[in-house]
Structure 1
Amino acid sequence: MAAALGVSGPARADDDASVDTNRGCRPNPDITAGMRPTFRDEFGGRSLNEAKWSTVMDFPGRAGGHYHNTSYGSYALDENVVLKRGQLNLIANDEPVTGTDPVGEFDYSEGFISSHDKFFQRYGYWEICAKFPAGKGLWPAFWLVPQDRSWPPEIDVAEWFGSIEGMHSGLATGNWPDVRWDSHWSYGDTPTTGWHTYSVLWEPDRLVFFTDGSPTYEVTGEVVPDKEMYVILNSGTWAPDHRGGPPDETTIFPNAFEVDYVRVYQ
């Protein structure tokens, strides 16, 4: 069941589904037919809707409330979460940060939002309309993790590695450190040159990933999670040397992971 849906109560500007940004993304009615909307944000307001989103990390493996782990080069700053012209902009920047949670020095900053404790559900259809930034070392993503603070599982709906122009979708399962990955990769700069929908249909024993309404990958069987999960969107930077390595002098900063909407159905 869905919880803390964030779709009722007093009207807010950022709940206005009539905002027309003309970005060309539309839900696929063949997928959502017979479903009911349980969560949405069209990002039409002037600031992040705190009834729906938090900017603090709360999942296993993080080093603090604003830093994931050593795979990342970026520290999450609230100022890097910007709403403008009916879209969410999660900014990545190369101005060094002195962090407090955790304490440390970080070469890059990112924008991070999470619906933990505010919206979570088991199964359903989860979709964003987004444009990804181009550049070496950039690592923005749309992913789902469990509300109960366990890990794995993790559902990566759209995870972009700018250094290799690779889009990853898939599922992590198992037990740390013996984690199993069921993954799909596609390559090319298409995610950075226009707006596209990225989504997952999550059913008992079945995950189907989509780009622009077309299925790209399927995972079936007992590995498919059956626990409530929530949304994370972030614009991190990659730190290790593999997968193309971290940003360099060719990477343009600041840049943004741009999101037109988030919509979830049950």
Structure 2
Amino acid sequence: MRTRALAVGIAAVMLATAGIASTAQAESSSEATCTQPTSAPVRGKELAWHDEFSGRTLDTRRWSTVMDFPGRAGGHYHNTSYGSYAVDENVVLSRGRLGLITDNKPVVGTDPAGTYQYTEGFISSHDKFFQSYGYWEICAKFPAGKGLWPAFWLIPQDRSWPPEIDVAEWFGSIEGMHSGLASGNWPDVRWDSHWSYGPVPTQGWHTYGVNWTTGSITFYTDGKPTSTITGSQIPSKPMYVVLNSGTWANPDRGGPPDATTPFPNTFDVDYLRVYK
């Protein structure tokens, strides 16, 4: 009897252990990010700069949370196309990932002064890292919801505009992902754009990248090219990275958030890597 009881006990422990392992594996799988092999545009290139977001707080040697580019209204507010004000507490690092939070919490801002309905997370590598050309990539998961407007983009270090390279710009109201180039001179700005539609960016982790060379820009999703721009409008000046969440304020492109928009929500980034 004791032998049988011991055998039953061992079997129970084995089943419980297997259950725990199975649960852990399922949780690990559900949390898996961008695990695909090295994509074609990375091969043969040297890693120039990166952040794996493995710390507890944002690395201020790499990033700033203050805006410094033409067209902004202040250091924490882009312009009237946005309904959100950037606050440092909306930049969160957890479990080796960056979370840029958008929340429906009205805030009284000082830079510029005013009351703003929504808050966002914003980081940029201005004055920290910038280069001309190369392959720039994030692994990310975008939030779902009407009026949400998170983005991964590049802008010139010299504070000029245009150009601007939008690598992955998500419009939640229309479930549209935009990538493209703004070029020319203000106010005569030329846009070369590519759009894709559907909820896929919000349903899992994907890589979004741009391979920028002399006279050519090619955009990638999960290592596969989605569109290419060529011509004399391709910029050559050094550019830096911006990652931000936020909300759309205008009536077009599906309009701003409404009662259906989930708050708070997060633009999650597992890593950012730049190659030369």
Common fold: TM-score over 0.5: yes
SS in 1 for 2:245: strand
Q: 2:182 touches 2:191 (CA, 8 Å); kept in 1?
A: yes
Q: 2:121 touches 2:244 (CA, 8 Å); kept in 1?
A: yes
Deviation, structure 1 residue 30: 2.4
Structure 1 runs (4+) deviating above 4 angstroms are: none
**How is 1:41-190 mapped onto 2 (pairs within 5 angstroms)?**
41-190=51-200
Q: Distance in 2 between matches of 1:25 and 1:119?
A: 26
The aligned amino acid for 2:157 is: Q
Task: Decide which of 222, 226, 238 is 1:212's aligned counterpart.
Answer: 222
SS in 2 for 1:237: coil
SS in 1 for 2:149: strand
Question: Does 1:254 pair with 2:260?
Answer: no
Which runs of 5 or more residues in structure 2 are unaligned?
1-30
Q: Distance in 1 between matches of 2:200 and 2:43?
A: 28
Normalization by structure 2: what TM-score? 0.88
Q: Distance in 2 between matches of 1:196 and 1:208?
A: 17
Matched residue, 1:193: 203
Question: Does 1:227 pair with 2:248?
Answer: no
The structure with the largest helix share of the pair is 2
Go from structure 1 to structure 2 and tell me whether the alpha carbon gap of 1:82 and 1:241 turns closer, same or farther (over 3 Å shift).
Answer: same
SS in 2 for 1:191: helix
Q: 1:25 touches 1:197 (CA, 8 Å); kept in 2?
A: no
Matched residue, 2:5: none
Normalization by structure 1: what TM-score? 0.91
Which runs of 5 or more residues in structure 1 are unaligned?
1-20
Deviation, structure 1 residue 210: 0.3
Higher Cα Rg, which structure: 2
Q: 1:25 touches 1:196 (CA, 8 Å); kept in 2?
A: no
- Summarize deviations over 1:170-216 as a string: whole Å, max 9, x none: 00001111110000000000000000000000000000000000000
Q: Distance in 1 between matches of 2:231 and 2:190?
A: 14
Go from structure 1 to structure 2 and tell me whether the alpha carbon gap of 1:27 and 1:100 turns closer, same or farther (over 3 Å shift).
Answer: farther
The aligned amino acid for 1:242 is: D
